[in-house]
């Protein structure tokens, strides 16, 4: 018996050492991502965008990109807006949003985009011998859905009574989805964006020369701009300063451009996520909770339960992971499954250990010692469900509350 305990201790120490060495190795070979120096900064022009923290959802989700301007930067931006030689008002109306694919991630959309611009910008276009749609692009169009991106409706620009110009375009394509709260999965929010920006070659339409002003009053979304199974959280439109980390070989400083971002936000139903993804997991873990309620003399039945649960856990996790892109972090549901794996593994180890103790107990001749051992094993059997519930609750709560706000 003493020799067996010594070997058990040696095996435990070896296992812990292997885990520590594995963690050290993973830490050493893990890759630290390099962040792009391209950036978006919200401008001071009119916008339809909620940035009030008190009105954001509990998860902290917001469709805001980048950082807000500080008061000094906002004052400078207002002066730059007033001094810009070219201005254009841009509106977006999304007719449809469909074919959401989180594994890319991307979505399909169609609708209308219109531009209203002044005489100085028209003179620039006339001098260059181009139409205005040749100077604007949707940045997040997927390569497979390459130009033409904007299809003019009508014969050409209309001259307005105030001396400005107006033209309506249709758009249709598949677009990259850049922002989603994957860390909260399956309780998540997503943003379906359209990034619209000037596309010039010589910097003549950079941020200090052309400013795009969102058309808040007429922009919006149609009744078909919805995704089945997702809850609509509204739309927003705003101007951003797109700061490129390059001058595109033109020399001088890095290039900045005015960019209008129109997006529609969607969120998952918490109840649907619980019933679809978490309820099967709860049922499985209930089986692990009751594993020690099986009679001790039915060791085969006891041992088969954790093994069956483990295989089912792997299958369920692979099923929901197929809907997600390859992520460099664990989602909330991933962490819940980690807890489930740990509990299942501990249950299997305890089943083997308790089975051995019951077998050894039959060889104990001292009746009092045998009864004491039996009492300890029965106490372990009865306390297991409570220990698992407390451990799982604390671990899952920690996993949820340590998710970065707004991630």
272-314 pLDDT, tens digit each: 999 999 999 999 998 888 887 777 667 777 788 888 999 999 9
Quick one: average pLDDT of 311-340? 92
C-beta pairs of 163-166 under 8 Å, 24+ apart in sequence:
163/118, 163/119, 164/116, 164/117, 164/118, 164/119, 165/116, 165/117, 165/118, 165/119, 165/121, 165/122, 165/132, 166/114, 166/115, 166/116
Assign 240 a pLDDT band (cuts: 50, 70, 90). Answer: very high
Pairing of strands 179-180, 189-198: antiparallel
Give the count of beta carbons closer than 10 Å to the beta carbon of residue 65.
21
What residues pair up with 263 in beta bridges, in sequence order? 193, 236
- Is residue 102 helix, strand or coil? coil
pLDDT in the model for residue 359: 67
pLDDT at residue 17, rounded to an integer: 82
Q: What is the pLDDT of residue 109?
A: 93
Q: Assess contact for 208 and 84: CB atoms under 8 A.
A: yes
Please report the pLDDT score of residue 110 as a whole number. Answer: 93
For the stretch 335-364, pLDDT in tens is 999 999 999 998 888 888 877 777 666 666
Place 252 in a pLDDT band, splitting at 50, 70 and 90. Answer: low
Report, as an integer, the average pLDDT of 223-232. 89
Banded model confidence at residue 146, pLDDT cuts 50, 70, 90: low
Confidence tier at 254 by pLDDT (50, 70, 90)? confident
Whether the per-residue pLDDT at 147 is higher than 60: the answer is no
Q: Which of 44-48, 73-77, 152-156, 247-251 has the lowest mean pLDDT?
A: 247-251
* CATH architecture for the domain at 272-401: Up-down Bundle (1.20)
Mention every residue, 6+ apart, whose C-beta is less than 8 A from residue 203: 209, 248, 250, 255
Q: How confident is the model at residue 234 (pLDDT cuts 50, 70, 90)?
A: confident
User: CATH: 2.70.170.10, 3.40.1160.10, 3.30.70.260, 1.10.3300.10. Which one for 39-268?
Assistant: 2.70.170.10
Please give the pLDDT value at position 54. Answer: 64
> What confidence tier does 13 reach under pLDDT thresholds 50, 70, 90?
confident
State whether residue 255 is helix, strand or coil: coil
Task: Report which of residues 373 and 402 the model is more confident about.
Answer: 402
For 258, phi then psi, to 5°, come to -80, 135
Chain centroid to CA 14: 38
Average pLDDT, the chain: 85
Q: What pLDDT is attached to residue 154?
A: 83
From residue 88, how far is each of 126, 163, 260, 385 by CA, in Å?
16, 13, 11, 66
Cβ-Cβ contacts under 8 Å for 365 (sequence gap 6 or more): none
Centre a 10 Å sphere on the Cβ of residue 86 and count the other Cβ atoms it contains: 21
* Whole-number Å distance between alpha carbons of 231 and 228: 8
Amino acid 34: pLDDT = 72
Q: Is the pLDDT of residue 66 over 60?
A: yes
The per-residue pLDDT for range 88-141, each reduced to its tens digit, is 999 999 999 998 999 889 999 999 999 999 999 999 999 988 889 888 989 999
Tell me the three-class secondary structure of 78-90, residue by residue: HHHHHHCCEEEEE
- Is residue 254 a contact partner of residue 39, using CB atoms and an 8 Å limit? no
Check pLDDT > 90 for residue 201.
Answer: no
User: Which helix (H) or strand (E) is 303 found in, with range?
Assistant: helix 299-321
Q: Mean pLDDT over residues 34-55, rounded?
A: 79
pLDDT score recorded for residue 149: 74
* Span of 105-119, 212-226, 362-376 with lowest mean pLDDT: 362-376
Q: If we measure between CA atoms, which residue out of 260, 267, 268, 266 comes closest to residue 48?
A: 260
Q: Return the DSSP state at 330.
A: -
Q: What is the mean pLDDT of residues 161-172?
A: 91
Cβ-in-10-Å burial (0-12, 13-18, 19+) of 343 comes to buried
- CA-to-CA distance for 293 and 297, rounded, in angstroms? 11
Given a cut of 90, is residue 61 above it in pLDDT? no
Q: What is the pLDDT of residue 55?
A: 64
Q: Given a cut of 60, is residue 2 above it in pLDDT?
A: no
Percentage with pLDDT > 70 across the chain: 89
Answer yes or no: are the C-beta atoms of 178 and 193 closer than 8 Å: yes
- Cβ neighbours for 45, distance < 8 A, ≥ 6 positions apart: 81, 211, 212, 213, 214, 238, 239
Domain chopping of the chain, boundaries: 39-268, 272-401
């Amino acid at each position: 018996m003493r020799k067996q305990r010594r070997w058990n201790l040696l095996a435990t120490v070896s296992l812990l050492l292997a885990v520590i060495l594995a963690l050290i190795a993973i830490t050493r070979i893990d890759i630290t991502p390099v962040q792009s120096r391209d950036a978006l900064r919200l401008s001071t022009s009119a916008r339809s965008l909620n940035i009030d923290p008190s009105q954001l959802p509990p998860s902290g989700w917001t469709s805001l990109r980048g950082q807000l301007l500080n008061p000094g930067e906002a004052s400078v931006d207002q002066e730059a807006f007033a001094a810009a030689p070219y201005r254009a008002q841009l509106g977006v109306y999304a007719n449809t949003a469909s074919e959401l694919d989180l594994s890319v991630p991307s979505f399909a959309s169609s609708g209308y985009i219109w531009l209203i611009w002044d005489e100085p910008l028209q003179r620039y276009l006339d001098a260059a011998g181009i139409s205005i749609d040749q100077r604007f692009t949707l940045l997040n169009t997927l390569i497979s859905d390459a130009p033409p991106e904007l299809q003019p409706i009508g014969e050409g620009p209309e001259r307005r009574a105030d001396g400005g110009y107006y033209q309506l375009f249709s758009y249709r394509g598949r677009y990259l989805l850049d922002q989603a709260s994957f860390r909260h999965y399956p309780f998540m929010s997503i943003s379906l964006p359209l990034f619209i920006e000037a596309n010039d070659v010589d910097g003549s339409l950079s941020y200090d020369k052309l400013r795009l002003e969102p058309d808040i009053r007429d922009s919006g979304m149609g009744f078909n701009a919805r995704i089945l199974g997702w809850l609509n959280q509204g739309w927003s439109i705003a101007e951003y300063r797109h700061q490129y980390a390059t001058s595109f070989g033109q020399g001088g400083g890095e290039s900045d451009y005015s960019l209008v971002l129109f997006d529609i936000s969607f969120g998952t139903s918490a109840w649907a996520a619980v019933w679809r993804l978490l309820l099967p997991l709860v049922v499985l873990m209930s089986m692990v909770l009751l594993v020690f309620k099986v009679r001790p003399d039915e060791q085969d039945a006891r041992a088969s339960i954790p093994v069956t649960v483990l295989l089912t856990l792997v299958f369920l996790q692979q099923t929901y992971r197929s809907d997600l892109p390859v992520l460099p972090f664990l989602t909330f549901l991933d962490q819940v499954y980690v807890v489930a794996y740990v509990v299942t593994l501990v249950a299997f180890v305890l089943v083997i250990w308790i089975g051995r103790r019951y077998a050894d107990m039959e060889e104990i001749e001292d009746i009092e010692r045998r009864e004491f051992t039996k009492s300890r094993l029965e106490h372990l059997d009865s306390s297991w469900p409570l220990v698992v519930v407390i451990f799982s609750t604390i671990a899952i709560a920690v996993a949820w509350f340590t998710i970065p706000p707004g991630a």
